[in-house]
Structure 1
Amino acid sequence: MGRWSGMPRTSRWVVRVLRPWLMLLTKRDWQGAEKLPSGGYVLAPNHLSHLDPLLLSHFMADHGIAPRFLAKSTLFDMPVVGRILAGAEQIPVCRGTGAAAESLRAAVAAVGAGQVVSIYPEGTLTRDPDCWPMTGRTGAVRVALSSGRPLIPLAQWGAQEILWPYGRRLRVLPRKTVHVRVGDPVDLTDFEGRELTEELLHEATERLMDALTALVSDIRGELPSGPRVEVRDVQRKLEDNHPAKEQ
């Protein structure tokens, strides 16, 4: 239990409750953990399933890392879930509002203080029909450049076989293998010390998504068959289907 001693008490409790079930119900192919640096950094995984945070937390906890994510602020309003997220020191993010910038500042502060913060660069579950990474949002890159700490791509595969993106039916048996590949830190040295313009952030984010796609390709043993799905197009469609309510 010593490897979990640095985690918030709530995180340790969650790990002790859920880890035995995950050990029982999944198989693991985890590679590249030796590439994880010491101190604070941004972990940038692809997003396949609503189970991703749970399965990624398993990987992180087993390597002595306190799972910490940017989570939708609405989850913190749920009576039980909200208390667990707050106790585990997750970082609430209000999408599409000025408060989102405050969430990134909180992430920068956490990483600068030596913590690991996981940020899904796609910002939502992939809408690619074959589950390849889409284009990315700039939050992960912004936090890494603002904090001066490493940006680590992490590819995972297998969660979508247990729970398909936007699906509701769990397929636990037969046991599925959860694959994880940790990549080398994304080289952002040519962006350091420069103004964080949208153009610069998008260029750096494209570099991150290239790294993630290469790692997913390595796991799957194949290359994408088409161009990346544009995450901004996905967001526009979601907004069209679920327009904001008038205040």
Structure 2
Amino acid sequence: ASDSLQHAIAFLKAGHLLGVYPEGTLTRDENYWPMKAKTGIARLAIISKAPVIPCAQWGAQEILPAYSKKLKLFPRTKVTVVAGKPLDFSKWYGKENDPVALEEATAYVMRAITILLEDIRGESAPAEIFDPKKSNLPRIGNFKKAKK
């Protein structure tokens, strides 16, 4: 993970664009709300000082359900993708090794994404963000298959 982080930082510092899914996997939340993310996005933003533009999408889960290999092209489904304004991480600059700062910065990103998703969906997210560690679900892989 360290090597990939260093490559990503170099890529960003060279002025390139990088797409990151902060959770590192599909959400485990049964209602598809964002879940607790890993701190890699915060490290990237703090070290590279590259802008972070939060994005959210809704509707793709109707076309390709989680862990399915079968596309559902009919009936047609609307997919919405939105991008927010760049986030300011300057208060965390120089704190890339501070666990509290990393958690705060990561939560800041996830809150911005959640606000965008709330707007798309026209409803409020749960007050507490889903944490797969607290629910004893695996961090990666098809957790539904693992339950069987």
The one-letter code sitting in structure 2 at the alignment partner of 1:238 is P
Whether 1:201 and 2:86 are equivalent positions in the alignment is no
Q: What percentage of aligned pairs have identical amino acids?
A: 43
Between the two proteins, the alignment pairs up a number of residues equal to 141
Q: Which amino acid aligns with 1:188?
A: F
1:225 to 1:192, Cα distance in 2 relative to 1, 3 A: closer
Report the equivalent of 1:237. Answer: 137
More helix by share: 1
Give 1:163's aligned residue. Answer: 64
TM-score by length of 2: 0.86
TM-score (norm: length of structure 1): 0.53
Distance 1:225 1:194 in 2: 29
Q: What aligned pairs does 1:35-184 form with structure 2 within 5 A after superposition?
A: 100-184=1-85
Where does the alignment leave 5 or more consecutive residues of structure 1 unmatched? 1-99, 243-247
RMSD: 2.0
The offset of 1:205, in angstroms, is 0.3
Q: 1:123 to 1:232 in 2, by over 3 A?
A: farther
- The residue number in structure 1 matching 2:146 is none
Displacement after TM superposition at 1:233 (Å):
4.0
Instruction: Give 2:14's aligned amino acid.
Output: A
Relative distance call for 1:101 and 1:231 in structure 2 (3 A) is farther
CA contact (8 A) 1:136 1:231 kept: no
What is the rounded CA distance, in whole Å, between the counterparts of 1:143 and 1:226 in structure 2? 27
- State which drifts further: 223-232 or 150-159: 223-232
C-alpha separation between the residues in 2 aligned to 1:143 and 1:232? 23
SS in 2 for 1:120: coil
- What's the offset of the Cα at 1:194? 3.1
SS at match of 1:207: helix
Which is richer in strand? Answer: 1
Which secondary structure does the structure 2 equivalent of 1:156 belong to?
strand
Runs of 4+ more than 3 Å apart: 231-234
- Structure 1 counterpart of 2:118: 217
Structure-2 separation of matches of 1:165 and 1:185 = 29
